[in-house]
Amino acid sequence: MFNADPKIISRMAPHLQRVLVVDSQPAATKLLQDLLRSLVTCQVWSATSDAKAIQAARAIDPQIIFLEHSGPEIDGARLARALRRSDLACRKVPIIMVTSEATAQAILGARDAGVHEFLRKPYTTKDLMRRLEAVALKPRDWVEAVHYVGPDRRRFNSGEYAGPRKRRSDSRKTPDQDRILQALKITRAAMAAVDSDWMQARRALLAQAADLQKAAVSVGDLKLMDAAVTLNKAIGETLDRAKLEPAVAAITAFLPKDETKAA
């Protein structure tokens, strides 16, 4: 029998007060609900379709979402992407995808849709606890790009990963350098998407301008700071290319030469 550490439970509890379970199978929802309530005191809501899930998410503002991979009216990956790109207050909350289809395609699809963790059926209380601990106590960097919105994919299923990063190239950069490079790349991609997806392009540009300002302070780069502040001012409520293009050009000039050539 699994015995959870009371101290860990106590630390997780404030992050798990409101739970939304999206599953077409009432029995599966009931099982998950019972397991959750055996660990923490929480309120659990359920939805049996993508449309009902969006309505419930807007009404209850869940702190965590459990999402079935597929069902009669459920497309887990599509729903996760919709939540991440929505205007909902809960768009950044942890999403744990639950499924019996633990194929490589399903796992990669969940990761690329912006899911935090992947839980395979049938699962134990210990399996559930590991996922809850990962999302509640081990927060991951948020990526606000154009083609991807969600947690840093390099730590996907962090409940099973003990190392700091998954890319070999990460060891060659400091965390601040890696952060700056990623923000610059996203800024460049966002500018290219202004005409096709201006709302997400604007959201991505705002996020990168803010992130670059923080990173510039951390590394003591005043020129990068000035360029990031200028970019933030140029974005505005709507994207005016006349103001935006020179600001983006100035900030992307900080990209390394090899990255510029690759683009």
- Could you give the CA distance from residue 117 to residue 114 in angstroms, rounded to a whole number? 9
Position 56 scores a pLDDT of: 97
Residue 37 three-state SS: helix
Q: What is the pLDDT of residue 158?
A: 45
CA 58 – CA 110 distance, rounded (Å): 22
pLDDT at residue 102, rounded to an integer: 75
Q: φ, ψ for residue 162 (rounded to 5)? A: -100, -15
In this structure, how many other beta carbons lie within 10 angstroms of the beta carbon of residue 15?
18
pLDDT at 160: 47
pLDDT (0 to 100) of residue 203: 95
CB atoms < 10 A from the CB of 29, how many?
20
Q: Is residue 233 classed exposed, middle or buried when 0-12, 13-18 and 19+ CB atoms within 10 A define those classes?
A: exposed
The neighbouring-strand residues paired with 71 are: 74
pLDDT of residue 95: 98
The residues of the chain scoring below 70 in pLDDT are 1-2, 155-173, 259-263
